[in-house]
Amino acid sequence: MAASSPHFFLVVGDDDFLVDRDARALFEKLSADASDEMSREIIDGSATKIAEAQSVVSAFLAATRTVSLFGGKKYVWLRNLNWFADGVIRVKPAEEKAAAAPAKKGRGSKSAAKKDIFEDFADKVAEECASSDPAALCVVISVVRPDKRRTPAKKLLKVGKLVPVASMSDPEDMVFAVERAARERGVSIGEDAARLLVGKVNGHARMTFSELEKLACSVGPGGTIDEKTVMRLVPVFGAGDFFEPAEYFFAGDLAGTLESLRRFFFNNASARPLLAALQNRNRLLIQLRALVDAGDAALSSRGGISKSAIEAAEARYGHLFGGNDEKSSLNLFSQNAWYVGEKVAGATLRDKSVTLKRLIDRQLEFVRAFEALIARPGEDEAVMRELAVRCLSC
């Protein structure tokens, strides 16, 4: 009965921001015809302690069992139910065993309460779904990272209609989502600009869409977000391998590289992380260029290499790397095939002057720059500017 109910919705996913975003959109859509704001109720479902979880259960039941003030349909959103995830409210194995044993007379079992709160909530949601009138109540529950190994979570996810939220762990999915979100905001963003945005924020969903909102406001309705706008307005986020000077460098833009080096050294004293990023990217480009020159991969009109071509090359040459799957720039096939084919190759190999010899010469220049950093301490910015001029001025 519960599974077929159209008035209970569970929005489930691994990323709290994406789950919250989709749940909000669903709640707004479902409650668009609400008679008044008093008919809509949003409850914070987050908890880290057993007492907090019990308060959430009580608040949820009070909301679902209370009619709308003016008699219309009631809409309830239990937002950010995080404690069905593994380890948020910890239940130790010893406590689970104790909870299974009969409690001594006159003494309650705290561990039993910890265990029972999950079962209790799942049962009560199922009861509410089965007994409530779809014409009088609509419920949205957003659940973050539920531990599907445990019975209460399995039971909860069988209640009402399940609305799964994709995690967007694949950068290609994130790029597609950015393009769609831009259209919804009345602006356009090129594929290269979308990839650049995802790279600068290290694939972080919340930051990606927050920065997109900022970019959309910057270009205005009907505007276009291009790569230069992303470079200028979006900061680097997280501990990824993105360095703005590296992006300009491998795009062959000397002026952009020199300007971004100035910005980089305004906040950074050492050039070594940047130089390491240049070396790592160039190692991958050498391998990609070799595949293209050997006829094992073809460049698209945009300069990239398809994911299928990378995977086909791996089937042919992967064994030469000794079967080591550890991610390394020394092994092209240990990288994400979409990333190296589109983001790495696409940004550089579209320029036909970037030959295998030129890439190897650059790698030697990186070694020369490293030696200069050792010989000239404190002159990191000057060394990197000289490197950029030597590599990009010809």
Q: Which of 195, 166, 162 is nearest to 178 (CA)?
A: 195
Domain shared by 179 and 287, yes or no: no
Quickly list DSSP for 96-130: HHHHHSPPPTT---HHHHHHHHHHHHHHHHHHHHH
Residue 37: per-residue pLDDT = 80
What is the arithmetic mean of pLDDT over 195-222?
Answer: 87
Domain shared by 41 and 178, yes or no: no
What is the arithmetic mean of pLDDT over 222-246?
Answer: 78
Residue 99: per-residue pLDDT = 44
Is the backbone of residue 238 left (phi > 0), alpha (psi -120 to 50) or beta? left
Domain annotation covers residue 116: yes
Domain shared by 103 and 226, yes or no: no
Mean pLDDT of the chain: 83
Which of residues 118, 147, 164 is at a domain's end?
A: 164
Domain shared by 35 and 153, yes or no: yes
Residue 242: per-residue pLDDT = 61
Q: Are strands 137-144 and 161-164 parallel, antiparallel or unpaired?
A: unpaired
Confidence grade of residue 358 (pLDDT, cut at 50, 70, 90): very high
Of the two residues 383 and 301, the one the predictor is more confident about is: 383
Of the two residues 353 and 110, the one the predictor is more confident about is: 353
Domain annotation covers residue 250: no
Domain annotation covers residue 253: no
What is the arithmetic mean of pLDDT over 133-150?
Answer: 87
The tokens of 238 are what? 């997280």
Domain shared by 295 and 238, yes or no: no
Domain shared by 307 and 365, yes or no: yes
Q: What is the pLDDT of residues 109-121, one digit of tens each?
A: 444 555 578 888 8
Domain shared by 88 and 119, yes or no: yes
Domain annotation covers residue 141: yes
Domain shared by 148 and 180, yes or no: no
Which of residues 242, 259, 288 is at a domain's end?
A: 242
Domain annotation covers residue 265: no
CATH of residue 101? 3.40.50.300
Q: Is the pLDDT of residue 161 over 70?
A: yes
Q: Which range marks the domain in which residue 356 is found?
A: 272-392
Q: Is the pLDDT of residue 324 over 80?
A: no
Domain shared by 198 and 62, yes or no: no
For the chain, what is the domain count? 3
Of the two residues 321 and 277, the one the predictor is more confident about is: 277
Domain annotation covers residue 125: yes
CATH of residue 195? 1.10.8.60
Residue 95: per-residue pLDDT = 43
Residue 77: per-residue pLDDT = 93
With beta carbons less than 8 A apart as the criterion, state whether 288 and 282 touch.
no
| CB burial string 87-105: b at 16+ within 10 A, e below | ebbebeeebeeebeeeeee
Residue 115: per-residue pLDDT = 54
Identify any residues that bridge with 143 across adjacent strands, giving them in sequence order.
Answer: 12, 81
Domain annotation covers residue 350: yes
Q: Which of 204, 84, 203, 87 is nearest to 144 (CA)?
A: 84
Question: Considering only 62-66, 105-109, 315-319, 365-369, which range has the smallest mean pLDDT?
Answer: 105-109
Domain shared by 233 and 292, yes or no: no
Residue 177: per-residue pLDDT = 87
- The structure's pTM equals 0.58
Which contiguous run of DSSP H or E holds residue 172? helix 171-184
3-state SS, 314-348, equals HHHHHHHHCCCCCCCCCCHHHCCHHHHHHHHHHHH
Q: Is the pLDDT of residue 316 over 90?
A: no
Q: Is the pLDDT of residue 211 over 60?
A: yes
Which of residues 103, 135, 164 is at a domain's end?
A: 164
Domain annotation covers residue 37: yes
Domain shared by 181 and 160, yes or no: no
Q: 258: which residues sit within 8 A by CB, 6+ positions away?
A: 385, 388, 389
Quickly list DSSP for 256-313: HHHHHHHHHHHH-S--HHHHHHHHHHHHHHHHHHHHHHTTSS---TTS---HHHHHHH
Domain shared by 318 and 387, yes or no: yes
